[in-house]
Structure 1
């Protein structure tokens, strides 16, 4: 019986380390990484990627493109955790819950692009509502999201966990030029007609995300209320193993959202908060930026590709 070989290229970064940890001890695959002396050796990396069954790329965008270009053996399949290919039509978008057939598309794919962390929450909220005709495609979407500082990679982790951590800002809003690389990904895969406003931030906690999208009911089709939006999301994710929709009663009772509530899992929790008197709804998503937002999603896609 053939045991698939899985090569992690870039296993010393935050996402790569988490993927390695999640796959440790599995007997249904053979995990390959390169020793530190060979990680920057292009020839050795090329050999490793061409010798594997599935490569998981945990690399900067340019290096991910180079790695794909180095593939000579057609049988090699790829999961790219970078943002290099997320809007490329020849790559399968690695969000299994995107629609009814997406998990099967991932299972059959040769090239899978892992979603970005923030887009995972935004698309999971927006796409079902747009497809159901409850949210117009040209709705002026604004997304606010706060991630743990690990979302900023090694530099941010060093800033918050080094000896100078006491000087690190407790909260940072960034992306003020409104050119964040996740915005085109959200626009495309959510099915929006126009570019959304996307305002990301980092908090002084290691991991976890809380993402919110405000909705004005007066801009929706006549008769569309918060309960209908909630029912649409509940129906859409009824059979989804890793997506939960908060019951309306729980949302009404909630006083806050904890971005760290699902840390260490591959789960995504969606919420719909309704103020019918004011004609306002707040959509929310809580998940681990290193779980469903990165390494957990990569392992979920890997399992689909392996038929596990």
Structure 2
């Protein structure tokens, strides 16, 4: 059986390096990358992408669009790790656990767009609850998240790991214009009728994410409570290999959330915390922004596509 040819365009970036590491040594595929002198050569990049079976794009948005535009070989399949195509209707959203049948759609797709790191957590929490009618589509949702500095890419890593890193900020909230580029992606794929309020932050740790969604159950339909929301998530992800829902009895004894708890894995942990007296619920997602939030998701999608 011949090996599939996989071209990683942008293999020296944070996500590209992680994907390369995960795929190194596999015998079912042959990795293709360009030498340093040819990485910005549009002709050589076009040749490489048109000669492969599956291209994985780890590029800035503009460069990702250019790479796709250069494809003339109809047999080439693409996984785009940038945000260039995440809300495009002719691209398949690469979150296999998002809804029934999504893994099958990814497996047969020609164009797959990898989810953003923050949207992975937000959609993972919200989509099943909206689909079940437990949260109405027009509910005003607020989302708070903190990521490791590698979420900024190479610039974040250099700022925190260079010799003068002692001056790097320990924590910074950003996106204060409330117009973060992930917000439309979250709204569309979670199924929200109203634009969510999304407030992201970076911490002084390399990788990992904790994302939270606070809810007042008194603003939801009567009888809905934290246990019902938890049960819905548990049913939705039952048997999922890479998304796990923490049992309620375990979340009740937790005193803090560690954004690094899932580092080094390609998995995501979802939790539900409740305060019955005040009618408050906190939904949370913890995962590695370089794992399930980026490279791990790309490899998961690649494996589905290779199985066809």
Counterpart residue number, 2:131: 131
1:185-200, aligned counterparts within 5 Å? 185-200=185-200
Name the CA distance, whole Å, in 2 between partners of 1:113 and 1:304.
14
Give 1:88 deviation, angstroms: 0.1
Q: Secondary structure at the match of 2:284?
A: strand
Name the CA distance, whole Å, in 1 between partners of 2:291 and 2:28.
21
| Residue 6 of structure 1 pairs with residue 6 of structure 2 | yes
- Structure 1 outlier segments of 4+, above 6 Å: none
Give 1:2 deviation, angstroms: 2.4
Name the CA distance, whole Å, in 1 between partners of 2:26 and 2:260.
27
Counterpart residue number, 1:208: 208
Counterpart residue number, 2:108: 108
Name the CA distance, whole Å, in 2 between partners of 1:3 and 1:251.
44
Counterpart residue number, 1:86: 86
| Residue 231 of structure 1 pairs with residue 231 of structure 2 | yes
Counterpart residue number, 2:49: 49
1:142-157, aligned counterparts within 5 Å? 142-157=142-157
Name the CA distance, whole Å, in 1 between partners of 2:91 and 2:175.
26
Give 1:3 deviation, angstroms: 1.2
- Cα RMSD, aligned residues only: 0.6
Q: Secondary structure at the match of 1:202?
A: strand
Counterpart residue number, 1:34: 34
Deviations 1:92-137 (A, max 9, x none): 0000001110000000000000000000000000000000010011
Give 1:194 deviation, angstroms: 0.7
In the comparison of the two structures, how many residue pairs are matched? 308
Counterpart residue number, 1:19: 19
Counterpart residue number, 1:254: 254
Give 1:264 deviation, angstroms: 1.1
| Residue 271 of structure 1 pairs with residue 271 of structure 2 | yes
Deviations 1:58-89 (A, max 9, x none): 00000000000000100000000000000000
Name the CA distance, whole Å, in 1 between partners of 2:125 and 2:44.
42
Q: TM-score, normalised by structure 2?
A: 0.99
Deviations 1:121-168 (A, max 9, x none): 000000000000100111110000000000001111111000110001
Q: Secondary structure at the match of 2:252?
A: helix
Counterpart residue number, 1:242: 242
Deviations 1:18-76 (A, max 9, x none): 00000000000000000000000000000000000000000000000000000010000
Q: Secondary structure at the match of 2:55?
A: strand
1:162-177, aligned counterparts within 5 Å? 162-177=162-177
Name the CA distance, whole Å, in 1 between partners of 2:249 and 2:3.
47
Name the CA distance, whole Å, in 2 between partners of 1:144 and 1:177.
14
Give 1:239 deviation, angstroms: 1.4
Q: TM-score, normalised by structure 1?
A: 0.99
Q: Which runs of 5+ in 2 are unaligned?
A: none
Deviations 1:201-234 (A, max 9, x none): 0000000000000000111111001000000000
